[in-house]
Amino acid sequence: MQISNKSIEGIIKKIPIAGVRSLEEYYTKEEMVALFSITPENLSSQCNGSNKVFTTDKDIKSILIIHYNGGVLTEGVEVTKTGAKEITLGFAPASGDDLRLKYI
């Protein structure tokens, strides 16, 4: 599925607010399809127990979600975008840990 820049820009502009009870109240059906169609980039091969800085294949315009060992990390707390193709974690994941970044 090809995701248009217009769809992506619409998603970026919509930041969740208090009182939203479901995604359907906040995103259009087309925006949800675009959002959930983005495949996370697997950064697990960069986990080695000492590395805190991770490099992506493409430029990061906006971080959507960071999966870590089955959980989710919070941008600005455990994860910070530190470069066009770089994120920095507040800790060093061990070798074998699962780290995936969904971004546009």
pTM: 0.69
Mean pLDDT taken over the chain: 81
Q: Please give the average per-residue pLDDT across 86-99, as a whole number.
A: 97
pLDDT digit string (tens) for 74-91?
Answer: 888 899 999 999 999 999
The three-point CA angle 22-72-68 to 5° equals: 150
pLDDT digit string (tens) for 28-73?
Answer: 777 777 767 788 999 999 999 999 999 999 999 888 889 999 898 8
Kindly list the domain boundaries of the chain, sorted by start residue: 1-37, 39-104
